[in-house]
Amino acid sequence: MSPEYVRPHVKSQKNDDLDAEAIAEAATRPTMRFVEVKSQTQSGIQALHRARERLVSERTALINHLRALLLERGIVAPQGRRKLEEELSVFADEDGIEALSPRIRLLIEDLRAEWRTLDERIAAFDGEFVRMARDDEAVRRLTKIPGIGTINATALAAAVGNARAFRRGRDMAAWLGLTLRQMTTGGKPCLPGSNRYLRKNLIHGARAVLPYLVERETPLGRWARRLQARAHKNVAVVALANKLARIAWAILANGCAYDAGYEMVSA
């Protein structure tokens, strides 16, 4: 059960005994909604995603460290991970840059080696997810959706399963936090549900595929074009991520394949 459904049944001060009593009482409610138990395969895939996300965070921190190291010495590296990598290779070949002492050059080379190691470990996870996508029918169907690659597809399949826990796609989109509704307490807004990892990846996928979609004469492309004409780009990106989540729900819940020509109901 979701903790938010148990909380109203907690009496007096919170402790282990009262929590157990509240869970038992909430479980007897006839309208209670329960969380589907994940299989070992789903749990294992989610563990792989968490490990990969940790490596990506470490790589981002390392890149920021390198940028700060160069900036302290008056060297402004161009934006972009690949451009920084090219810039560092140039620094390694040139010995005439006075801002970089021999010791700092050795430090940068050590950090570059750590960066390459992280890239290799992340690529190994990506390769494993690609193999999973080839072997799993549901994941293969999800990868046919524009903006959903192997990372998003495997993460969705592991977190959602067959999607029957949600009555409709709108419920799953709300669970992911891809809604306009906010729950505010003490002036601090928070999104209901809010699966941060899936929400972030779906928004990144929507941002990457939006320019491609608006050029296509498909129902989804025409919908995205109309939305982009009347809304801010960031609003359009989140709305597209919401739409992709609903399409993913339909595919997982009904066991069907993605049809680019299917006429959607505007929302």
Which residues, in sequence order, are CB contacts of 34 under 8 Å at separation 6+?
1
CB 154 within 8 Å of CB 198: no
Residue 46 corresponds to which tokens in the numbers above? 């989610």
* Residue 162 in this model has a pLDDT that exceeds 90: no
> What are the structural domain ranges in the chain?
1-35, 41-134, 145-267
User: pTM for the complete prediction?
Assistant: 0.81
Predicted pLDDT at 183: 56
Cα–Cα distance for residue pair 210/205, rounded to 1 Å? 9
* 117 vs 194: which has the higher pLDDT: 117
Give the residue-averaged pLDDT of 216-241: 92
Cα–Cα distance for residue pair 38/249, rounded to 1 Å? 17
Give the residue-averaged pLDDT of 78-104: 76
Predicted pLDDT at 111: 92
Q: Which of 101-110, 141-150, 186-195, 218-227 is the least confident region?
A: 186-195
pLDDT 10s digits, 113-150 = 999 999 999 999 999 999 999 999 999 999 999 999 99
* Residue 187 in this model has a pLDDT that exceeds 50: yes
Residue 207 corresponds to which tokens in the numbers above? 């941002």
* Residue 75 in this model has a pLDDT that exceeds 70: yes
Predicted pLDDT at 161: 85
Confidence of residue 97 (pLDDT cuts 50, 70, 90): low
